[in-house]
Amino acid sequence: MRLVIADCQVDYIGRLTAHLPTATRLILVKADGSVSIHNDDRAYKPLNWMSPPCKLSEAPFEDGAATWTVTGKDGGQLVISISNVLHDSSHELGVDPGLQKDGVEAHLQELLAEHPETLGEGWTLVRREYPTAIGPVDLLCRDASGGAIAVEIKRRGEIDGVEQLTRYLELMNRDPLLAPVRGVFAAQEIKPQAKVLAGDRGITCITVDYDALRGMDDPSLRLF
Amino acid sequence: MRLVIADCQVDYIGRLTAHLPTATRLILVKADGSVSIHNDDRAYKPLNWMSPPCKLSEAPFEDGAATWTVTGKDGGQLVISISNVLHDSSHELGVDPGLQKDGVEAHLQELLAEHPETLGEGWTLVRREYPTAIGPVDLLCRDASGGAIAVEIKRRGEIDGVEQLTRYLELMNRDPLLAPVRGVFAAQEIKPQAKVLAGDRGITCITVDYDALRGMDDPSLRLF
DNA sequence: GCGTCGATTTCGATA
DNA sequence: TATCGAAGTCGACGC
């Protein structure tokens, strides 16, 4: 990893065209060849960048001034004109063991698939990722009387999710083997607008308690 | 801007829980207080970060080892245990003049508004950002025979865009002064699923050649 | 301030 | 390898 602090001017021609007037910035060159240009605000998004794989060629001038041309695999180019280098250092970082995450939508779906009864009494799971022509429904369940229920699961329930479920329901209700199919929108948190839209479409909203579900899933609590 | 290269272990508790085992990484502290942890690959996304506004408190130990606790406004915490500092430097960057872009959706809309005939022969523009109760339609045009056409423009055409246009059409077709209104979904690239959904809704898909449009817009080609 | 929407989104899983 | 949906999305603009 190479860190350069310098006055620079940057032009990008690729998926769009962009220009960055001269100013002092951080130029970050990673071991994978990627280059990113950071200013002193915005937590993580650079002003300009080139994703790997890409190739960096340097054309040095006097006084440490140089033009760097970074060419991406799609032919996009990032041209960096460096005029005044304040800092330049390289560092060996080695391989990173990687990040471990917990608490995403996949896990929520997993837990609800294991415990469909938390959505409604007597409900059973038919299958996860039930396929339709426009994509898979998160869960297909049956209620105590055998009626089909399509369940859409989100971490945060917003309008998009209700739209998505509406599309699935429209299609599934054309299938005589399934119809009538009810819709359930399950999320850790459901925005008021999403609730209103769901109500208007006859879709039931269920707010899911992730911690409680995770507790049910705790192996130490399993007695069977 | 402060750059630290050090062995570190990171734990994040906030919107999710994440753990990062010890390894050598770049810790980037920006003037706005934001902190991000980078390894030596992935173009620009940090492994972990805290967005501003947030507060950094350092608890130093011997040999430069320390624990940094970064607390966000939502109460989320990023705990960084630093054990071996290889580099530590600070730099004054000043204000950035900012990025100038060309080729985003706004520009595409501008070009299509100037050249509605590229969407259909004899088509004319009624207006851009035609207002409806649920938001503005990108373009309202009329075809050669005077029929109304609502045009939704995206850089990349996906299902969401078709949904959006469908809602507009539903409303506009209730207006006796406009109805019947046809729908056109225009984008540089349209995903198969979006095409299927659009076809099902009777919406026409048009793939737009941005470079050709920009060429038409080239002042040197203007003879009038 | 929240809500909506675009993004050189990036990233990961899946067919 | 394309495609599709999620993201600790972020960030900008409108109300």
Place of tokens 């002193």: A40
**What is the nearest CA distance from B102 to chain A, expressed in angstroms?**
5
The hierarchical CATH code for the domain B2-90 is 2.70.180.20
Which of the residue ranges B80-89, B188-197, B203-212 has the most confident prediction, judged by mean pLDDT?
B80-89
Measured CA to C1', the nucleotide nearest B161 is C5
The hierarchical CATH code for the domain A105-219 is 3.40.1350.10
CA distance linking residue A199 with residue A191, whole number of Å: 12
Name chain B contacts of A86, Cβ cutoff 8 Å. 91
Confidence of residue B91 (pLDDT cuts 50, 70, 90): very high
**What is the nearest CA distance from B205 to chain A, expressed in angstroms?**
17
CA distance linking residue A120 with residue A111, whole number of Å: 14
3-class DSSP state of A164: helix
Q: Dihedral (C-alpha) A18, A22, A23, A29: value to the nearest 10 degrees? A: 60
Residues 6+ apart with CB under 8 A from B117: B123
Q: Give per-residue pLDDT as tens, A155-168.
A: 888 888 888 898 88
Partner residue facing A17 (CB), from B46, B103, B159: B103
Lowest mean pLDDT among A103-112, B55-64, B190-199: A103-112
Is the shortest CB-to-strand distance from A188 to strand C under 7 Å? no
pLDDT at A5: 96
Distance B222 CA to C12 C1' (A): 47
Is the shortest CB-to-strand distance from A25 to strand D under 7 Å? no
Count other Cβ atoms within 10 Å, centred on residue A58: 10
Confidence of residue B223 (pLDDT cuts 50, 70, 90): very low
Name chain A contacts of B23, Cβ cutoff 8 Å. 93-97
Name chain B contacts of A102, Cβ cutoff 8 Å. 16-18
CA distance linking residue B161 with residue B39, whole number of Å: 36
Q: Give per-residue pLDDT as tens, A63-90.
A: 778 999 999 988 899 999 999 999 999 9
Residues of chain A with pLDDT under 50: 219-224
Domain boundaries of chain B, sorted by first residue: 2-90, 105-221
Second-level CATH architecture of B105-221: 3-Layer(aba) Sandwich (3.40)
Partner residue facing B52 (CB), from A30, A43, A87: A43
Residue to substitute from B32, B40, B54, B89, interface A, most A β-carbons within 10 A: B40
Q: For B69-89, what is the mean pLDDT?
A: 93
